[in-house]
Chain A
Amino acid sequence: MFTIYDDQGNSIAAIPLSEKQIKLLDVSSEITVLWHTPRMLQSTLGTESGHFTLYKDGNRIIAPDSAALRKYASLQSAIMAAREQS
């Protein structure tokens, strides 16, 4: 899990990032993350999708659109909760 900050330096959430995303953050200015409600949880969590961008500033990973990231982090928490119940 990687802690993501807003551009004011405030911690927003901790989210999983893949090895490829980490490498891309290290070498490029910005990456885009797509997200969606998993197919099998749409009946309980609704159908949502979106995206947010990340970039790296020093050792910190920044999300300029903190609201979009919070939505994603909230969905991931709901997915984890649904998994534990299944």
Chain B
Amino acid sequence: MKVPVEFGEWRPDVALLDSKFASEVENVYPGVNSYKPFPGLLPFGPVLPATPTAACGLFAARTSSGSWKIYAGTTTKLYVLVSFAWTDISSAAYSVTPGHQWRFAQFGTKLIAVTNAENPQVVDVDAGGNFAALGGSPPKATNIHVMGDFLVLSELVTTGIYNNRVIQWSAINDITGWTVGTNLSDIQEFPDGGAVVGTAGSEIGYVVQDKTIRTAQFLPGDTTYIFNFSRVLQDRGCISRYGFTNIGNILYFVSEDGFYAITGQQVVPIGADKVNDWWLANSEVSKRDRVLAFSFVDKPRIAWAFHSSGSSQSYYDRLLIYDWSNQRWSHVTEQAQVWAVLASTDLDLDTTGSEPNDADLDSAALSLDSFAYVGGRPLIGAIDESGFLSSLAGPNLPATMETVERHLGSGTRAFVSEVYPLEDGASSALGTIAAGTRERLQDAVVWNPAVGIEITGSAAAFSSARLHRFRRSIPQAATWTHAQGVVVEAQQDGTVA
């Protein structure tokens, strides 16, 4: 009897016995009916000075000519990547508070960087040069966001009229205008809902507090209120100042009890009965205020980088991936000090650099008018744990997928003779399958030794038990595209005593 057992959707929070869900998926992307390989980080740039312990900001800004520049921040410096070397463009020696980051926003040709212990810094992306204090004496802030024609600062450092429940926005189309009451610049303090950890969105803006979410609607032509703020969610907000992101008008964030999405006034608990409990059990509670969200620009996915439970490291060591097109999740074990959405740099015509596919002018690998010579391909970048500028372009990470626990026989024990993985892949790296068995739900699961895939395409994972589950392991750097599940060859093997 052949029994297909799909991996199914990863929903570790629900009862899994005989269900169609997966109990574990690691280092894969969630597909609509399969799991896909997740590439590891591959360095493509130099090590950031003063790392591996000090990287705390990464951003790609676009020049007026359409090329991209990569900026990075450490606890004491701000850098720009020039000719694949980090160049110090700090205005002074900075002091970033432990656990805080540099946050960036581009407004026209200006790149603004904020962190709570320093005055907002600005540099011209086109002209270059060093960062300098942003004009207009804006307050020190933890987060920054461009909302329509305004630059919005949030989680302001307490001084004078400012505190962490206040936001201030610039004059309209003028990031050097911070005189309250002038050219639509103003402040708003929110009396409840806790600290404003950030703002997001554009046409529908969001004020993200640690215990409340509000929408911020610009009122064109209104010189009295400028923005209208409306509460959408009460008693829940984002627990991390970096733990939210928006895609279009949808805000995604991590709350005290898990993951949510908000579209205007509609709140969707995207992690409930899926991964919330798993995340709470597997994340380090003392570092949940540092959870970092970012959206993939090349795929419909969002990632939350976090520290695993018990982690004492300064760098993130886990990612929780959410595919918003199919509402499925997965998790990844990968280390990085900071993650960001970057863009590929331009390839030049006459040298062969370290960039992938950077062919010489004499080579026929790329035509002279190839689109590859224009940078800007979106990519997910990071400063890896060793301090190297990296992107998700490395060899596939070792993947693990586990089926749910199944009664393969109806009321009887089942003898499994072979397990056939439903996936493609290179024959040079086939990986293994292990069977986990037990006789009663009250017993502990016993994992049999992992068995390699044979020339037949199956693994001789002999086992006999009433309850079975199967763990598929695909080694690092193996080439494959989809993993759907396994087909088990099973037969009745007597009743349970």
Contacts and interface: CB of A to CB of B under 8 A. Distances in A.
B186 A38 contact: yes
Contact of A19 (B160, B176, B225, B226): B176
A76 interface: yes
B224 interface: yes
Contacts, number: 66
B186 A18 contact: no
B125 interface: no
B411 interface: no
B309 interface: no
A19 B136 contact: yes
A76 B181 contact: yes
Contact of B176 (A20, A38, A83): A20
Contacts of A37: 181, 224
Contacts of B183: 18, 33-35
B398 to A, nearest CB: 53
B223 A79 contact: no
Contacts of B161: 83, 86
B361 to A, nearest CB: 42
A35 B183 CA distance: 6
A7 to B, nearest CB: 22
A72 B189 CA distance: 23
A36 B135 contact: no
Contacts of B223: 34, 36, 49
A6 to B, nearest CB: 20
Interface centre among A19, A42, A75, A86 (most CB of B within 10 A): A19
A9 B178 CA distance: 28
Given A16-B182, A21-B174, A47-B224, A40 B136 contact: no
Interface centre among A20, A40, A42, A72 (most CB of B within 10 A): A20
Contacts of B176: 18-20
B179 interface: yes
Nearest to B177: A18
Interface centre among A34, A36, A76, A83 (most CB of B within 10 A): A36
A48 to B, nearest CB: 9
Contacts of B181: 35-38, 75-76, 79
Contacts of A72: 182
B187 to A, nearest CB: 7
Interface residues of B, number: 25
Given A20-B174, A83-B161, A35 B225 contact: no
B188 A39 contact: yes
Given A20-B177, A40-B189, A35 B182 contact: yes
B332 interface: no
A54 B485 CA distance: 71
Contacts of A79: 180-181
Interface in B154-181: 160-161, 171-172, 174-181
Interface centre among B161, B178, B189, B225 (most CB of A within 10 A): B161
Contacts of B178: 18
Contacts of B135: 18-19
Interface in A60-86: 72, 75-76, 79, 83, 86
Contacts of B177: 18, 20-21
B184 interface: yes
A40 B186 CA distance: 9
Nearest to B189: A40
A6 B177 CA distance: 23
Nearest to B135: A19
Interface in B169-228: 171-172, 174-184, 186-189, 223-226
A76 B179 contact: yes
Nearest to A51: B223
B224 A18 contact: no
A81 to B, nearest CB: 12
B187 A38 contact: yes
Interface of B: 135-136, 160-161, 171-172, 174-184, 186-189, 223-226
Given A18-B136, A19-B136, A33-B182, 6 more contacts: A18-B176, A18-B179, A35-B182, A36-B223, A39-B187, A79-B181
Pairs A-B, 6 closest by C-beta atoms: A18-B177, A19-B176, A49-B223, A19-B135, A18-B176, A20-B174
14 contacts: A18-B136, A18-B178, A18-B179, A19-B135, A20-B171, A21-B174, A34-B172, A34-B183, A37-B181, A39-B187, A39-B225, A47-B224, A76-B181, A79-B181
